[in-house]
Amino acid sequence: MEKNTIIAVVLCSVLLIGSFALQGLLSQRQQVNAPVVQTQDTSPVTGGDTIPVMDAFESALPVQDSTLTMQPSVTEAPVPVNQMEATAQDLLIPLENVRIETDVIIVELTNVGGDIVSWKLKKHIDKDDNVDMIFSANNSRAFSIAFGGAEAAPISEYFHVDRTRLAEHIVEFSRVFNISTTTGTSGSFRLIKRYEFFPGEYRFKLTVTLTDLQSLNGINFNGSAYTLSFGPQIGPRFEKLDRFYDYRENHTYINGKLKKAKDNDVFTDNRMTAWVSISGKYFAFIAIPKLYTEYNLAFSNREEPGLQAASRLNITRSAVNIPRVDDVYFFYLGPKTQDELKKYEDSISVLASSRGILAPLERVLKWLLQAFYKVVRNYGIAIILLTLFIKILFFPLTKKGSMATLRMQALAPKIKELQEKYKGNPQKLQAEMAIFYKQEGYNPLGGCLPMLLQIPIFIAMYGLFNNHFDLRGASFIPGWIPDLSVPEYIVQFTNFRVPIVGWEALRALPFIYVGSQLLYGKVTQMPGQQSGTQMKFMLYIMPIIFFFILYNVPSGLLIYWIFSNLFTLVQQVIINKYFIKRKAVQVQTQTEPELKIAPGKKKKKF
Confidence at residue 415, expressed as pLDDT on a 0 to 100 scale: 82
Considering the domain boundaries, does residue 163 fall inside one? yes
Q: Render pLDDT for 460-476 as a digit per residue (tens, 0 to 9).
A: 888 888 778 888 888 89
What mean pLDDT comes out for the span 241-265? 82
pLDDT score at 536: 66
Residue 101, domain member (yes or no): yes
Question: Beta-carbon neighbour count of residue 400 at 10 Å?
Answer: 14
In a domain? residue 4: no
> Strands (DSSP E) along 127-235, which ranges?
129-132, 144-147, 160-162, 170-180, 186-197, 203-211, 219-230
Say if residue 346 is in the same domain as residue 363: no
Q: Are 386 and 374 in contact (CB under 8 A)?
A: no
Same domain, residue pair 141 and 187 = yes
pLDDT at residue 198, as a whole number: 94
Q: Is the pLDDT of residue 437 over 90?
A: no
Cα 585 to chain centroid, rounded:
59
Instruction: Report the pLDDT value the prediction gives residue 87, as an integer from 0 to 100.
Output: 47
Q: Residue 589 pLDDT more than 60?
A: yes
**Is the same domain home to 212 and 172?**
yes
Q: How many domains does the chain have?
A: 2
pLDDT digits (tens, 9 = 90+) for 347-389: 888 888 777 788 889 889 999 999 999 999 999 999 999 999 9
Choice between 366 and 182, residue whose per-residue pLDDT is larger: 366
What is the reported pLDDT for 527? Answer: 47
Instruction: Examine residue 371 and state whether it is found in any structural domain, yes or no.
Output: yes
What pLDDT is attached to residue 377? 93
Question: 416 and 280, same structural domain?
Answer: no
Same domain, 363 and 334: no
For residue 249, the domain's CATH number is 2.70.98.90
Q: CA 506 to CA 252: how far, in whole Å?
A: 40
Q: For residue 131, what pLDDT is reported?
A: 92
pLDDT of residue 559: 94
| Strand 95-101 versus strand 40-41 pairing type | parallel
Whether residues 343 and 379 fall in one domain:
no
Cβ atoms of 321 and 68 closer than 8 Å: yes
Range of the domain at 323: 74-352
Which residues neighbour 82 within 8 Å (Cβ) at sequence distance 6 or greater?
23, 27, 32, 178
C-alpha span between 474 and 472 (Å, rounded): 5
The whole-number average pLDDT for the span 211-225 is 87
In 10 A of CB 49, how many CB atoms? 8
User: Of 352, 370, 401, which one is at a domain's C-terminal end?
Assistant: 352
Q: Confidence class of residue 103 from pLDDT cuts 50, 70 and 90?
A: very high
Higher-scoring residue by pLDDT: 511, 81: 511
Task: Give the model confidence (pLDDT) of 168-179 as tens digits.
Answer: 899 999 999 988
Whether 442 shows a pLDDT value over 90: the answer reads: no
Q: Which letter does DSSP use for residue 181 in this model?
A: B
Note whether residue 537 is domain-resident: yes
For residues 330 and 448, state if they share a domain. Answer: no
Same domain, 513 and 386: yes
Closest CA to 245 of 487, 509, 531: 487
Rounded to a whole number of angstroms, the CA Rg of the chain reads 37
Judgement on whether residues 431 and 477 belong to the same structural domain of the protein:
yes
3-state class of 285 per DSSP?
strand
In this prediction, residue 263 has a pLDDT band, given cuts at 50, 70 and 90, of confident
**What would the mean pLDDT of 267-287 be, rounded to a whole number?**
86
| Rounded average pLDDT over 134-160 | 88
Q: Is 311 helix (H, G, I), strand (E, B) or coil?
A: coil
CB 176 within 8 A of CB 81: yes
What pLDDT, in 10s, does the model give residues 4-33?
434 444 444 444 444 434 444 333 333 333
pTM above 0.75, yes or no: no
Q: Which residue has the higher pLDDT, 304 or 471?
A: 471
Domain boundary among 333, 352, 371: 352
Of 352, 368, 393, which residue is a domain's last? 352
What torsion do the CA atoms of 374, 375, 377, 378 make, to the nearest 10 degrees?
A: -110
**pLDDT tens-digit map of 504-553:** 899 999 999 999 888 877 776 654 444 456 566 667 788 888 899 889 88
Would residue 606 count as lying in a domain?
no
pLDDT at 510: 94
Q: What is the mean pLDDT of the segment spanning 589-593?
A: 56
Residue 520 is assigned to a structural domain of this protein: yes
Let me know if residue 50 belongs to a domain.
no
Q: Average of pLDDT values for 246-253?
A: 88
Asked if residue 403 and residue 316 are part of one domain, the reply reads no
Is there a single domain that holds both residue 316 and residue 409?
A: no
Selected residue with higher pLDDT from 192 and 584: 192
Asked whether residue 307 falls in the same domain as residue 256, the answer is: yes
